[in-house]
Structure 1
């Protein structure tokens, strides 16, 4: 374990969460399968915070069971309930297991790409805010 960067080990999946200015980034490395999917999902969903984007980085996942899609639906549900934008970064193993289902989720190429999208969304809202609040005389 690295000081200041706690790692949660969940039966083959290593989970690391970092709260950044634009979003909370949860990275998973290793294996996500039937033996750990419920614990992984519960742990990951704890990090979906109101008013802060969420990035689920699965780029380090080496094996992903088809039942792993429940993790993605769980994150999607939590983000919808808290009204936050989210992004998914996949690995080849995740893409293979999902077989096209990932297309229904907000996929980004990388964590920096996801954070850039969140920043662009904030900039757009800031640009439009004066137009929306301007009173007509």
Structure 2
């Protein structure tokens, strides 16, 4: 297993303060946005790195902050990696937060093959828009819930 907490300076996608974490063929990066936390995974997701990926993603599941798991850059997705979705669903369910997956073709194919119910979005902007609509709906209900007779 190989863990690397930096990317080369020659990489034009390098961001100071937010380096990619590289683990056995997959790179991971998290962005905390106003509407949600976006965790991006690229490369190959397999049996040798699924535990490290799950651990990394779980670090960024925060109370009252939806999670968008961007797997659109995943080239290969092992059948055993479906356990990642169960783990995320359990953690998000316990905290009461929404989550969604932006799936690449290989991830979507494995989801269909195993017939797993996973909340999906077509893109990160679509996921953020969905989370924003949920926040707006909750804000409309808030004055109704706080009024007393």
TM more than 0.5: yes
Question: Which residue of 76, 83, 96 corresponds with 2:109?
Answer: 96
Following the alignment from structure 1 to structure 2, what is the Cα–Cα distance between the partners of residues 103 and 133? 38
Equivalent in the alignment of 2:26:
13
Following the alignment from structure 2 to structure 1, what is the Cα–Cα distance between the partners of residues 100 and 49? 22
**TM-score, normalized by length of structure 1?**
0.93
Q: Deviations over 1:77-109 (max 9, x none)?
A: 111111111111100010122225566111111
4+ residue runs of structure 1 moved beyond 6 angstroms?
none
Moved more, 79-88 or 52-61: 79-88
Following the alignment from structure 1 to structure 2, what is the Cα–Cα distance between the partners of residues 103 and 87? 13
Question: Which residue of 115, 121, 131 corresponds with 2:144?
Answer: 131
Provide the aligned length of Structure 1 versus Structure 2. Answer: 136
Following the alignment from structure 2 to structure 1, what is the Cα–Cα distance between the partners of residues 112 and 135? 32
1:102-121 superposed matches below 5 A: 104-121=117-134
Which secondary structure does the structure 2 equivalent of 1:99 belong to? helix
Aligned-pair Cα RMSD in Å: 1.4
Structure 1: stretches of 5+ with no match in the other structure = none
Question: Which residue of 54, 76, 80 corresponds with 1:41?
Answer: 54
Higher relative contact order (CA 8 A, sep 6+): 1
| Cα pair 1:95 1:102 within 8 Å, conserved | no
1:69-84 superposed matches below 5 A: 69-84=82-97
